[in-house]
Structure 1
Amino acid sequence: MPAPEAQRGSRLLDREPTAFLGAVVRGVGQVDLQSRMLTGALLLAGLWVAGWRIGLFATLGTAVSTATARVLGMDRDDTAAGLLGYSGCLTGIALVTSLGAHPGTYLLAVGGSVLATVLTASLTTLLEPYGLTALTAPFCLISGVMVLGAPSFDRIWHGDPNPVAAPTSGDTAVAWSDLWHGFFSGVSQVFFVETWYVGLIMLAGLAFAGVRVLLGAALGSAAGILTAWALGAPSGLIANGIYGYNAVLVGIALGAVFLDATVGNALYALLGAAAATGLTASLTSLFKPFGGHTFTWPFILTTWALMAAVPRIPRLQRATP
């Protein structure tokens, strides 16, 4: 998901002896729309803190997607900036959390990460005339299809070891611990991790990407919590970040990447964060009957819809490259 700084014309893959490793680290950072090496490194560190399976599959997926881009001769600047690796990162994590770390999962992660790179190119071509980017749609499409079909294959399906929580009825009384846990977990749930201290590590990584990025993530998480509470969401789902991660991504995308730094744009980003929170519940209810997963679809659909409207709203300004 390209950020303006990622469009610099440097030939990183030609100049750096550790270029491939750098591209992989940046690919992890691009899940949060950031290409800074330190940001990506801290995000990746947080994933390994969350558990070796999460860290391994995130690294594997990003590395395979990045290698695929190089083998296919895709744009070297985009590859170096991590723009062709982030969907592989999320694909690896989604598969291991849904299917477990079995031999078949490794093969699916490799195959899915290869396809993620190709699908990123396809969607980029289709969306470019509309001024939109693929975001995490390649990951959602590939992982969604794989996880949905997995129960049909005995060598792949071993039960759901870590089912994604769905918005359901429950206790709506929110305690202080629910709020601060939810604030940090909303950041880590972008990578499907609900551990609050992993979110803290990741938030520190985003701070190195700039004040606007940090504020976009923080305000997005807060907006998600507030919206979920106002609508009467179960406190447990607020605490584990289920209602926050899509809002975090929208906050970063609209508040720090795709739009200029103006008050109007900031309010627009908060509107998007709130909308993504409500859409999380709607899409989860839509997917639940047939075993589908929400993943980051609320972020994708909200960002596409609001960015498509920008040319028709004179008071909003796209970020200048």
Structure 2
Amino acid sequence: MMLPYLRGVGQIMLQNNAWTGALFLAGIFYDSVIMGIAAVVAVVTGTLTAKLFRYNEADIEAGLYGFSATLVGVALTFYFNPVPVVWIAVVLGSVAATWLQHVFISRGLPGFTFPFILVTWILLYLFLHVYRPGAAASVAGAMPVSDDFTTATNGFGEVIFQGSVVAGIIFFVAVFISSPIAALYGVCASLLGAFISLQFAEPAPDIHMGLFSFNAVLCAITFAGNKPRDGIWVLFSVVLSVLLDVWMLQQHMAVLTFPFVAASWITLALQHLLQKMGIRIKD
């Protein structure tokens, strides 16, 4: 009975695995009980919305209607104090994200986390320009150390707005138990994201926190595979996502997971173009 909800959380990093989702929730609750509650409220709302509208049952069971909603819930309680209007927005935003997810799924389009991005951008604009509930405190667990290991795992943590070393490690383990190769590609992508952003003289604390790595982690997980050519697509999408990440942050934009989505769309379009041209990258 709980499996679709847990898979919905696990799908944040493209894992159709209930244990992965459970560990993600554990990591969120470790950093912030409020964000953990928001994640639960959001994934339940999104999944029940899909059931109410009688969306494809297999897609619901796979958690495809839970991950964007979950991210909306966590994002709103990350950016704003949990006053009543924010909780209302969590529920309404989860419903909207679920509907948008269905628009992509029903058309066979790879929406990834774009429904979450669009809904959150709109709500951030409304709250910052129409109603100001107050910004939330920083995420619990500021990093006590800065080394390659924690930089790599923090890239995982920041995917779901978590800043502690413990949450990042839990998220890495959660992906590893579902797909070891995706998790290991994610570690490499996180370090590469840190290296590239360092070349642009970005602030060291932001780099070590994983702000330039989490989109790269998602790209790596998306295109991870056992064949050498998969590594080429991982590298291409990761570099592109980090460059977009750097540019958006320099423009003081709410980045969210847009660099991941944009880089993934471009990578998929390039793959399709090469296929139509009869060009095949050998393994």
Question: Shared fold (TM-score greater than 0.5)?
Answer: yes
Q: Does structure 1 conserve the Cα–Cα contact (< 8 Å) formed by 2:127 and 2:133? A: no
1:22 matched to 2:11: no
Which residue, 101, 105, 108 being the options, matches 1:124?
Answer: 105
Paired residues in the alignment total 273
Q: Does structure 1 conserve the Cα–Cα contact (< 8 Å) formed by 2:152 and 2:188? A: no
Distance 1:58 1:217 in 2: 23
SS of residue paired to 1:79 = helix
SS of residue paired to 1:208 = helix
Distance 1:125 1:163 in 2: 38
Deviations 1:79-110 (A, max 9, x none): 01100110000000111111121111110000
Distance 1:125 1:82 in 2: 15
**How big is the shift at 1:263?**
0.9
Distance 1:142 1:162 in 2: 22
Distance 1:114 1:305, change over 3 A: same
- The aligned counterpart of 1:72 is 53
Distance 1:279 1:124 in 2: 25
SS of residue paired to 2:224 = helix
**How big is the shift at 1:37?**
1.4
Which residue, 245, 259, 262 being the options, matches 2:227?
Answer: 262
SS of residue paired to 2:146 = helix
Distance 2:21 2:37 in 1: 15
**How big is the shift at 1:228?**
1.6
After TM superposition, the structure 1 = structure 2 runs for residues 307-318 of structure 1, keeping only pairs within 5 Å, are 307-313=268-274, 314-316=279-281
Deviations 1:230-252 (A, max 9, x none): 33222111111100100000000
Q: Which amino acid aligns with 1:148?
A: Y
- What 5-or-longer segments of structure 2 have no aligned partner? 140-144
- Moved runs in structure 1, 4+ residues, more than 4 A? none
Distance 1:182 1:145 in 2: 31
Distance 2:273 2:130 in 1: 48
- The aligned counterpart of 2:133 is 158
**How big is the shift at 1:178?**
4.4
After TM superposition, the structure 1 = structure 2 runs for residues 70-109 of structure 1, keeping only pairs within 5 Å, are 70-109=51-90
Which residue, 209, 214, 231 being the options, matches 1:245?
Answer: 214
After TM superposition, the structure 1 = structure 2 runs for residues 177-196 of structure 1, keeping only pairs within 5 Å, are 177-196=146-165
Question: What fraction of aligned residue pairs are identical, expressed as a percent?
Answer: 26
Deviations 1:122-147 (A, max 9, x none): 23345x3xxx4110000000011001
- The aligned counterpart of 2:142 is none
RMSD: 1.8
After TM superposition, the structure 1 = structure 2 runs for residues 160-179 of structure 1, keeping only pairs within 5 Å, are 160-162=135-137, 177-179=146-148
Distance 1:237 1:229 in 2: 10
Q: What TM-score does the superposition give when structure 1 sets the normalisation length?
A: 0.81
- What 5-or-longer segments of structure 1 have no aligned partner? 1-17, 165-175
Which residue, 243, 263, 283 being the options, matches 1:302?
Answer: 263
Which residue, 260, 285, 292 being the options, matches 2:250?
Answer: 285
